[in-house]
Amino acid sequence: MINTHTPNFEPKDIVATIQVLIKKGLKIVDTAAKGKTWAEVVEPLDEFEFELGHHINVNSHLNAVMFGEAFNTEYEKTLPLITNFYTEISSNKALYRAYKNLESGDLDAQQQHIVKEAIEGFELSGVGLSGEQSVCFKAIKERLSVLSNQFSKNSLLATNEWKKVVSEANLKGYNEDQLAKIKTDEGYEISLQAPIYIDVMTYADNRELREEAYKAYVSRASNVGITDKKFDNKVVMDEILALRLEMAKILGFDNYAQRSIASKMVESETQVIDFLQDLVRHSKPQAKQELAELKAFAGIELMPWDLNYYTEKLKTQKFGFKKSDLTPYFPENQVLDGLFATIENLYQVSIAAVDEACYHPDVRVLDVNNGSGLVGRIYLDVYAREGKRGGAWMADYQPLMGDNKPIAFVVCNLNSPSADKPALFEFDEIITLFHEFGHALHHLLTTVKYPSAAGISGVPWDGVELPSQYMEFFCYERTVVELLSKHWQTGESLPDNLYDKLVASKNFQSALAMLRQCEFSLWDVKTHLESKDTYAVLEEVRKDTALISSISENRFLNTFGHIFSGGYAAGYFSYKWAEVLAADAYYFVKSQGGIGSDAANAFLIEILQVGGSLDFMCQYNKFRGKKPSTKALLKSNGIYIHKNR
């Protein structure tokens, strides 16, 4: 029987379970370190990692989507245990030598690549350290795992804390659907949950209300915020940055940026900064024009809480439609049906719901099948709710291994249904869904039989966003929009005139958005290059990237989870780097016939199926026939290339 290994969503005694597994794992490591062949060294570790991963991954997932103090307390106790275990493996000199000995063995191309990457991983994880340095390195990694969770917890609790009940009179500018989302017995309750907060900033005519919500949002988890100061993340951030620097120096790097980039496709931090500054140079003239247009339209001195509001109004005037004109055409079930149909057309798989109990009634269980049977499973958790970490992400539960099929969690924080209406998605939310399913398909569609390099495993961080960003491009294709859209009342597909307006507006203020992402990325690299206060680094970066002043209460870095509780430290540039690949790949596939073409199938074969088992850029060049160019990224964003700047 083909096994999907249903996760245990009610784990008990998680600390004791992890302790027992780690003892077992250390014995397996000792045995593997004495091995001479792939079967003796790598396979036992893969098998154990598969078993341990079930527990680690489901615990981490539940802590993020069903946060509770009691479970979190136990979860936090497992973090140093897990960190110490992996530190023990990565610093095990005998195991390192066993991998080094495999280099001269009889290995296939994938095995050779996996061994090479494993050896580099050992070296970046301190295998060459000894004595006091080794002890210090292990202590740093343990402390960082605890701090990362603390950062995430503070962000979540601070976000949940701010709520405000307002009258309908204070919500002029809202339509019935937006009001229905926040209706309570006491009136209307706004909060800092993403769909609710975005509506306030986009639609509320009441400028004072927008200002209050904005200040609450950008000052979350700080010492200047409206919420409880006990959630202040600044001290956590400072310690994380200091420990990263210390860890990098122990390994012989000048700074953490060098250590991070050593495991990526890019060659140096200088190359990253040059890449980002080049995007800034091309984007800034157009961004200035976009902001000047917005200022002229608004007729007031713009403050940060005015930007979304007047941007939406200008967009409505310029293109002849509002975001809310689109949402009735995108009810949740139709959007998902259209997404699944698009995936089927792209990759010759089908997706069907499974009737299975899960950790929350909102979660859908989806089986992915092809002509040979089951490919894998996705647990889809779509709606925003209290106790759920903000943002959107894909996390793996298990990789492909033997008859065990890959399983992924896809998590979003999108609009939810109301009493008398289905969830109606904004187009940005649909793009988010496509993005996260791109990650999930990368995980599920692998044909690599080695778990350490199957799917997203082993893929360099600056390549991991390629499949997700590639998927986003298909959202705007007419045939795809027809699959996604069906008016929740009339059943009508999105009319041609609205579709044309949607496409025309695709790159509205795209240069401003490009500057903003470059600002995040430059700040991230430079804050891991320099021993300066991270807000001082941001202020310096903003001299070249920001066209509107920030307010003194802005502490958005205090909830920047990608950097302080995710895996993007000194790697946030990966979004833009991978977007170059994604744009280049999409335009190539489009030029060769698009969905259903040999080129689309080549993307499946050379990128998704291969995962991290071969050199990623070599695989991209094999698919594409040549190296990518930043011109594709600028073209996709409608940004003019300034040759003489």
What's this model's pTM, rounded to 2 decimal places? 0.91
Mean pLDDT, all residues of the chain: 95
User: In the CATH scheme, what is the code of domain 328-504+574-636?
Assistant: 1.10.1370.40
Q: How far apart are CA 55 and CA 252, in angstroms?
A: 34
Q: Using the predicted structure, report yes or no on whether residue 5 has a pLDDT greater than 90.
A: no
- Span(s) in the chain for CATH 1.10.1370.40: 328-504+574-636
pLDDT in tens, 101-158: 999 889 999 999 999 999 999 999 999 999 999 999 999 999 999 999 999 999 999 9
pLDDT in tens, 306-356: 999 999 999 999 999 998 899 999 999 999 999 999 999 999 999 999 999
pLDDT in tens, 289-298: 999 999 999 9
Amino acid identity for residue 488 in this structure: W
Residue 215 CA: distances (Å) to CA of 162, 167, 210, 310: 11, 20, 9, 18
If residue 628 lies in a helix (H) or strand (E), which one and from where to where? none
pLDDT in tens, 253-264: 999 999 999 999
Cβ 151 vs Cβ 240: under 8 Å? yes
Those residues whose C-beta lies under 8 Å from the C-beta of residue 361, and which sit 6 or more positions away, are none
Q: At 3, is the pLDDT very low, low, confident or very high (cuts 50, 70, 90)?
A: low
Of the candidates 586, 380, 302, 558, which has an alpha carbon nearest to the alpha carbon of residue 471?
586
Q: What is the DSSP string of 138-178?
A: HHHHHHHHHHHHHHHHHHHHHHHH-EEEE-GGGGTT--HHH
Query: What's residue 440's pLDDT?
Result: 98
Query: What's residue 642's pLDDT?
Result: 59
pLDDT in tens, 419-465: 889 999 999 999 999 999 999 999 999 999 999 999 999 999 889 99
Q: What is the DSSP string of 377-399?
A: EEEEEEE--TTS-SS-EEEEEE-
Q: What is the DSSP string of 425-463?
A: --HHHHHHHHHHHHHHHHHHS---S-GGGSTTTT--TTT
Query: What's residue 524's pLDDT?
Result: 98
pLDDT above 90 as % of the chain: 91
Cβ 90 vs Cβ 126: under 8 Å? yes
Q: Is the dihedral of CA 273, 279, 281, 287 positive or negative?
A: negative
pLDDT in tens, 581-613: 999 999 999 999 999 999 999 999 999 999 999
Catalytic site residue from 269, 332, 429, 436: 436
Query: What's residue 419's pLDDT?
Result: 81
Quickly name the fold that domain 14-129 has: Glutathione S-transferase Yfyf (Class Pi); Chain A, domain 2 (1.20.1050)
Query: What's residue 192's pLDDT?
Result: 95
Q: Using the predicted structure, report yes or no on whether residue 392 has a pLDDT greater than 90.
A: yes
Q: Using the predicted structure, report yes or no on whether residue 273 has a pLDDT greater than 50.
A: yes
Look up 436 and say whether it is catalytic.
yes
Q: Is 6 exposed, middle or buried (0-12, 13-18, 19+ CB in 10 A)?
A: middle
β-pairing verdict for 373-383 and 407-414: parallel
- Span(s) in the chain for CATH 1.20.1050.40: 14-129
Q: At 641, is the pLDDT very low, low, confident or very high (cuts 50, 70, 90)?
A: confident
